[in-house]
Amino acid sequence: MTQKNKKLIAGNWKMNGLQASLKEIELIAAKVGHYADKGTFLICPPATLLPGAKALAGDDLNIGAQDCHSEKNGAYTGDISAEMIAEIGGSFVIVGHSERREGHHESNEAVKAKAEAALGQGLKPIVCCGETLQQREKGEAIGFVTQQIADSTPDSLSKDGEIAIAYEPIWAIGTGKTASVDDVAEMHVALRKTLVDKYGERGNTVEILYGGSVKPENANALLHTQDVDGALVGGASLKADSFLGIVAAL
């Protein structure tokens, strides 16, 4: 779990990684402890690698999942529950990633239910949001994204830092394009206001991560932007060298 005075650097492996990829977890786990005073570190591999990753992660690297179902168990073929993630020692779960909102038609209401299921099992949900390029070009990005977060997050929080959110402009994911530092700051400040409006002072304890083509070369600027409390990293989290390059920018 994180403290707000540290940044959260999270890797999302998406549908990448076979057993051989666990060596990257081992390499990351061996090094992130050197940055423990500055950050909290997390890798979310595919579900097949969760137990193996947890066995190698040690004390300094958190392991989480990329999604969970909102129900505790039942006839939901192909899904995994928050309880299953918790049982193998996972401590985080990503919910509402744009690839699931788009590819699996997940609504804000469904994402909120998943986040609440995660909290029910003691997991920390990372609730994702982000606009399309068309929405940004029309000047709708801030309104759309802040509403998405208002509607996708749990109604209340029972402790500080119980959830994190991740702002990922869809047009920046896997494209090599990143939002400008000014655009990121503008969005993160707006998201902070949304969180404080919803949760009061506790809204200040929710980490707001930036995601979208984060790599070692741009991590320093992004991680030191106003209200950026960490990063959600896709492609650059698949190899220990590049993930650790981002960690070194803290």
Ligand X SMILES: O=C[C@H](O)COP(=O)(O)O
Binding residues for substrate: 12-14, 174, 213, 234-235
Beta carbons of 12 and 94 less than 8 angstroms apart? yes
**Based on CB atoms, which residue is closest to ligand X, 115 or 199?**
115
Query: Which residue in 24, 106, 168, 227 binds ligand X (CB under 6 A)?
Result: 168
Among 115, 119, 173, 187, binds ligand X (CB under 6 A): 173
| One residue of 42, 191, 232, 249 binding ligand X per CB under 6 A | 232
96-135 residues near ligand X, rule: CB under 6 A: 97
Closest to ligand X by CB, 61 vs 238, is 238
Determine how many CB atoms are found less than 10 A away from the CB of residue 236: 20
CB closest to ligand X, residue no: 234
The distance of closest approach from Cβ of residue 97 to ligand X in the complex, given in angstroms and rounded to an integer, is: 6
Residue 213 interacts with ligand X (CB under 6 A): yes or no: yes
**Residue 168 is among the residues annotated as catalytic for this protein:** yes
Q: In this complex, which beta carbon is closest to ligand X, that of residue 199 or of residue 238?
A: 238
Tell me if 211 contacts ligand X by CB under 6 A. yes
105 among known catalytic residues: no
- Positions annotated as catalytic residues are 97, 168
Q: Which residues contact ligand X by CB under 6 A?
A: 12, 97, 168, 173-174, 211-214, 232-236
